[in-house]
């Protein structure tokens, strides 16, 4: 039982400006189900990418020993040949091809270069039986649900004679029934001698299925626990995940909180890609003037979806619920409506959705408020330049001038441009989605200062963040969101990382 | 900082976004100087004016194309629209319609067809390539419902415009068509750089998703650029009718590709969001100057024009690729 199938020692992986993994160790015993837990950004997925050769040998430091041999994978094909298969959170299936074609993609059953379809479909059928999927192998993948697609991925892994199966958040997109089936299947694979590594945010599943768990935090290994001998509980895992001291990374602020500014009630949003799946489920929340409110939730909880559906219905279908501004009900159907009602949303993916990277600072700042800078369609370029210069000074955007191309700025300065753009529209309510993602510590402090200043001006701010310390340091009140439902509302003086993590993972209180 | 070693000095002195335009400008000057050294009577102002005169219609069409490409779209229908415009003008003039009424009608038809294509592209979310391809066949087909033969234009106004020359002093003169083309360029440049519509065009091409989330009217912008392109191709058709004094269903075959080539050589990114109308003007001038040089050479067949254009296109697309690769690496 003590034989290790995999041993990763001293793994360090750096990206420009960030160290994602620092001297991480991982040892997986043969035939066990090994869970990896950690907050968003703790380095779980990066570690698995190192293992599977997505980051080839040479791009990281440290040693991987698999089945007693040192491995230097140059790519995914190498690791698959050794028997390591990774199933990513975003499934890698071709939706237009059949189940059987997908299973043998890149690994076709062929005789002298000609595909043997009988054998392909027959063997695919056998694999489907093994994973308990009752579908015809010739069915197109886009015709089956996400839960079944996950099973197809596992069947595909089995076809490659997998010895170590890695699943990244396998149940994140599944409903309870599909999740339960998947977990059963993993137990069956374990009985067949296949070792599994599972990354999951759902701690109840980890407790239910794993034999041991490794906890990562900030790119370091914190500990590896044996489920049976260490009597691991969810609380034990949570304290390992968050046990980080809060240092003085936040500017001081004395909140002065006023009247209610913004409220949504019973907000429900359905997924546009998976019909019938509720992404946001009856959520209600309220912001007051001068208040900074946090929205905490793990990846896939529906935070961004909630924000975007409120912001001019830019996400989701069959949206229902009520929005109130200053106590009066309002209708928001488009982004223009939202801006008109004084609502701004700074996206989590500023490079793709927040900025025009190939244009300069002044035009990015003015983009959402051209109406105010133009008369009868003609843009007042002098005024635009003046406004942009004003923001460059007040927001401390570090650039040679407002003519600089936004794509060349650092993350922190890009974020300041995004905030400038929205502040220029003079909003009363700002929804900031991961405002400090990918930003270094110094710039984070500046962004926090800006957020505080906005609250002082009497604006209501909703901050969505994956980093609990950030929410604890910044917010007056924090809502937790789990699987689209608001599961808690914690005022500042009662908020601790443990309590929030508990609400974020446990579900309804 | 980048892998491009050829232009380090240039990149330091001028902002990167102007480099493609400058490269085209340098190329144009180099060709002009080389022509002047090689041929007698080449290096005169009239040569450049003649390029404008001979390519006025292409310039106008390319202006519309620039708008479309800046949003990240493409308009394949412009060549057929030019032919359709010449056919409608020629046949209506033959029926005795007044010249100015014909011109107005042709422009309205061009804009309307562009508007229709833009609306289909936006509301049905079909790729512009497909929609304008359909538009290209439609317009070309409509030409033949009017006539399969070439129709000569004998209208007095048209012939007067065709033969008029505006004296610029010295020995220099231009045609009214060239003046119209330059006016269109100026208006286009003004709209692109000083109006909200222009800003929306660049923003849509830079990142349509971002533009949507900034609350910009992406729908109106996309429809507007195809309308502008339709209008410009109809106007280009009128200029072509002045130039050829006839309407023919087979005229301007492949002109859409010349227009796209001019825009790309002018430094506008095919993916949208970056480029200048002055670049497009230079692109048209380069194409025109190649033709002039080949006609001066005398021994080369006119197909060499196509070969040079092909080589130039490759060169410019490679150049763009290198620059975009360079700018992607540099933020880190």
How many Cα atoms sit within 13 Å of A434 on the Cβ side?
Answer: 20
Which carries the bigger pLDDT value, residue A316 or residue B101? Answer: B101
Residue by residue, DSSP assigns A448-474 as: HHHHHHHHHTT-EEEEEES-HHHHHHH
Cα–Cα dist A411/A406, whole Å: 10
**CA torsion angle A453 A455 A461 A465 (round to 10):** 50
Mean pLDDT of A226-233: 83
Q: What is the 3-state secondary structure (H, E, C) of B114-157?
A: HHHHHHHHHHCCCCHHHHHHHHHHHHHHHHHHHCCCCEECCCHH
B326 CB neighbour count, 10 Å cutoff? 15
Q: Which residues in chain A touch residue B207, judged by CB atoms under 8 angstroms apart?
A: 352-353, 355-357
* Residue pair B29/B23 in contact by the 8 Å Cβ criterion: no
* Chain A residue with the nearest C-alpha to that of B274: A358
For residue A43, the model assigns a pLDDT of 84
Q: CATH number of A248-342+427-509: 3.40.50.300, 3.40.1160.10, 3.40.50.2300, 3.30.930.10?
A: 3.40.50.300
Handedness of CA A21, A27, A31, A32 (dihedral sign): negative
Subunit contact B17:A314, Cβ cutoff 8 A? no
Q: How many CB atoms lie within 10 A of CB A42?
A: 21
Least confident of A37-41, A105-109, A173-177, A353-357: A173-177
Q: Is the pLDDT of residue A328 over 50?
A: yes
| CB-based contact, A368 to chain B, within 8 Å | yes
Of the pLDDT bands very low, low, confident and very high (cuts 50, 70, 90), residue B3 is: very low
Residue found under tokens 């390591």? A84
**Count of beta carbons in the 10 Å neighbourhood of residue A119:** 15
Q: Measure the CA–CA gap between A269 and A319, rounded to whole angstroms.
A: 5
What residue has token string 């080389």? B34
Taken in order A76, A79, A81, A85, the sign of the CA dihedral is negative
Q: Is the pLDDT score of B7 beyond 50?
A: no
Contacts of residue A359 in chain B, CB cutoff 8 Å?
Answer: 202-203, 206, 273-274
Q: Chain B window 59-78: which residues touch A at a Cβ cutoff of 8 Å?
A: none
The answer, for B96 touching chain A at a CB cutoff of 8 Å, is no
CATH 2.30.110.10 fits A4-242, yes or no: no
Among chain B residues, CA nearest to A350: B210
Which residues are bridge partners to A310 per DSSP? none
Q: What's the pLDDT tens digit per position in A376-427?
A: 888 888 899 999 999 999 988 888 888 888 888 888 889 999 999 999 999 9
**pLDDT at residue A17 above 90?**
no
Structural domains of chain B in order of their starting residue, each with its CATH number: 8-329 (1.10.3470)
Containing A223, the helix (H) or strand (E) segment is strand A220-226
Query: Exposed, middle or buried by CB within 10 Å (0-12, 13-18, 19+), for A305?
Result: buried
- Contact (CB<8Å) A358/B273: yes
Q: Do A16 and B207 touch (CB under 8 A)?
A: no
Chain B residues inside the 8 Å CB shell of A353: 207, 209-210, 213
Residues in A touching B269 (Cβ below 8 Å):
358
Tell me which residue in A16, A336, A353 faces B210 most closely, judged by beta carbons: A353
Instruction: Judge whether residue B163 has pLDDT over 50.
Output: yes
Number of Cβ atoms within 10 Å of the Cβ of A164: 24
Interface contact B207-A311, CB threshold 8 A = no
Find, among B42, B72, B16, the residue nearest to B323 by Cα.
Answer: B16
The SS3 assignment for A180 reads: helix
Give the distance, in angstroms, between the CA of residue A165 and the centroid of all CA atoms in the same chain: 22
Contact at CB, B206 and A407, closer than 8 angstroms: no
Within A169-290, strands assigned E span: 195-199, 212-217, 220-226, 260-270, 278-288
| Residues in CB range of A249: below 8 A, 6 or more apart | A441, A444, A445, A448, A469, A473
Q: Is the pLDDT of residue A164 over 50?
A: yes
Q: What is the DSSP letter of A405?
A: B
Asked if the model's pLDDT at residue B219 lies above 70, the reply is yes
A395 and A452 Cβ atoms separated by less than 8 Å? no
Average pLDDT, chain A: 87
Interface A-B, measured as beta-carbon pairs within 8 A, has a size of 93
Q: Is A374 on the interface with B (CB under 8 A)?
A: yes
A16 has a chain B CB within 8 A of its CB: yes
Give the C-alpha separation, A255 to A267, whole Å. Answer: 28
Model confidence band, residue B330 (pLDDT cutoffs 50, 70, 90): very low
Residue B274 forms contact with A (CB below 8 Å) = yes
Our separate counts of H helices and E strands in chain B read 15, 4
Least confident interval from A110-114, A315-319, A433-437:
A110-114
Q: Is A385 on the interface with B (CB under 8 A)?
A: no
From chain B, the residues in CB contact with A16 under 8 A are: 332
pLDDT at residue A36 is higher than 60 = yes
Give mean pLDDT, residues B201-206. Answer: 91
Rounded percentage of chain A residues whose pLDDT exceeds 90:
36
Helix, strand or coil, per DSSP, at residue A256: coil
Q: What is the pLDDT of residue B320?
A: 66
Taking residues A289-315, report their average pLDDT. 89
**pLDDT at res. A398:** 85
The segment(s) of chain A belonging to CATH 3.40.50.300 are 4-242, 248-342+427-509
pLDDT digits (tens, 9 = 90+) for A243-271: 755 456 788 888 888 899 999 999 999 98
Q: Is B332 on the interface with A (CB under 8 A)?
A: yes
Determine the angle formed by the axes of helices B218-244 and B78-94, rounding to 10 degrees: 50
């Amino acid at each position: 039982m003590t034989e290790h199938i995999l041993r990763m020692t001293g793994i360090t992986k750096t990206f420009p400006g960030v160290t994602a993994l620092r001297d991480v160790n991982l040892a997986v015993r043969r035939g066990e189900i090994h869970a990896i837990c950690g907050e968003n950004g703790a380095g779980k997925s990066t570690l698995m990418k190192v293992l599977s050769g997505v980051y080839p040998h040479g791009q990281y430091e440290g040693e991987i020993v698999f089945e007693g041999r040192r491995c230097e994978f140059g790519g995914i094909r190498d690791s698959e040949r050794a028997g390591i298969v990774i199933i990513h959170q975003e499934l890698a299936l071709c939706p237009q091809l059949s189940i059987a074609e997908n299973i043998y993609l890149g690994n076709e059953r062929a005789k002298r270069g000609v595909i043997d379809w009988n054998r392909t479909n027959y063997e695919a059928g056998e694999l489907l039986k093994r994973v308990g999927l009752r579908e015809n192998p010739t069915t197109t993948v886009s015709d089956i649900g996400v839960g079944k697609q996950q099973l197809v991925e596992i069947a595909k892994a089995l076809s490659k004679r997998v010895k170590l199966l890695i699943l990244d958040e396998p149940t994140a997109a599944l409903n309870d029934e599909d999740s339960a089936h998947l977990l059963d299947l993993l137990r069956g694979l374990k009985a067949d001698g296949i070792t599994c590594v599972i990354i999951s945010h759902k701690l109840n599943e980890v407790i239910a299925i794993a034999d041991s768990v490794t906890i990562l935090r900030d790119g370091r290994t914190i500990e590896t626990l044996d489920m049976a001998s260490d009597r691991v509980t969810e609380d034990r895992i949570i304290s390992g995940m968050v046990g980080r001291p809060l240092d003085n990374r936040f500017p001081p602020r004395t909140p002065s909180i006023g009247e209610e500014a913004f409220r949504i009630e019973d907000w429900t949003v359905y997924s546009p890609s998976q019909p019938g799946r509720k992404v946001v489920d009856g959520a209600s929340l309220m912001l007051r003037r001068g208040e900074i409110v946090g929205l905490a939730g793990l990846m896939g909880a529906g935070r961004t979806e909630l924000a975007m559906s409120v912001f001019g219905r830019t996400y989701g279908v069959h949206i229902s619920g009520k929005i109130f501004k200053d106590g009066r009900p309002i209708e928001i159907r488009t982004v223009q409506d939202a801006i008109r009602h004084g609502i701004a949303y700074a996206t989590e993916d500023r490079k793709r959705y927040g900025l025009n990277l190939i244009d300069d600072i002044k035009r990015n700042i003015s983009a959402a408020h051209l109406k105010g800078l133009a008369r009868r369609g003609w843009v007042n370029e002098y005024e635009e330049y003046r406004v942009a210069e004003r923001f460059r000074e007040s927001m401390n955007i570090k650039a040679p001038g407002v003519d600089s191309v936004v794509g060349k700025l650092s993350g922190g300065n890009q974020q300041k441009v995004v905030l400038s753009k929205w502040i220029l529209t003079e909003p009363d309510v700002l929804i900031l989605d991961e405002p400090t993602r990918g930003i270094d510590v110094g710039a984070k402090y500046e962004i926090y200062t800006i957020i505080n200043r906005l609250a002082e001006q009497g604006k209501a701010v909703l901050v969505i963040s994956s980093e609990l310390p950030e929410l604890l340091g910044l917010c007056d009140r924090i809502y937790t969101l789990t699987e689209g439902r608001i599961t808690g509302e914690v005022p500042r003086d009662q908020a601790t990382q443990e309590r929030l993590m508990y609400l974020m993972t446990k579900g309804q209180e | 900082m980048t892998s491009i070693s050829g232009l380090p000095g240039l990149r330091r002195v001028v902002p990167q976004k102007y480099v493609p335009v400058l490269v085209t400008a340098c190329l144009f000057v180099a060709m002009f100087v080389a022509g002047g050294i090689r041929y007698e009577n080449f290096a005169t102002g009239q040569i450049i004016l003649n390029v404008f005169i001979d390519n006025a219609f292409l310039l106008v069409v390319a202006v519309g194309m620039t708008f479309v490409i800046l949003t990240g779209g493409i308009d394949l229908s412009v060549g057929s629209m030019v032919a359709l415009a010449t056919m409608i003008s020629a046949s209506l003039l033959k029926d005795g319609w007044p010249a100015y009424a014909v011109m107005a009608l042709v422009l309205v038809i061009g804009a309307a067809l562009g508007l229709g294509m833009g609306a289909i592209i936006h509301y049905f979310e079909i790729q512009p390539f497909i929609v304008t391809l359909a538009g290209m066949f439609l317009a070309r087909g409509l030409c033949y419902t009017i006539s399969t033969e070439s129709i000569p234009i004998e209208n007095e106004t048209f012939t007067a415009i065709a033969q008029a020359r505006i004296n610029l002093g010295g020995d220099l003169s231009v045609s009214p068509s060239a003046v119209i083309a330059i006016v269109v360029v100026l208006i286009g440049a003004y709209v692109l750089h000083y109006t909200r519509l222009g800003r929306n065009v660049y923003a849509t091409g830079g990142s349509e998703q971002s533009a949507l989330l900034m609350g910009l009217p992406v729908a109106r912008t996309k429809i507007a650029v195809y309308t502008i392109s339709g209008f410009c191709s109809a106007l280009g058709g009128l200029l072509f009718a002045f130039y050829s004094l006839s309407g023919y269903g087979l005229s301007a075959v492949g002109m859409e590709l010349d227009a796209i080539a001019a825009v790309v050589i002018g430094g506008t990114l095919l993916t949208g969001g970056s480029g200048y109308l002055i670049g497009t003007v230079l692109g048209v001038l380069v194409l025109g100057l190649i033709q002039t040089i080949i006609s001066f050479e005398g021994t080369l067949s006119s197909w060499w024009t196509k070969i040079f254009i092909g080589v130039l296109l490759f060169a410019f697309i490679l150049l763009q690729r290198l620059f975009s690769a360079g700018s992607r690496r540099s933020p880190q």
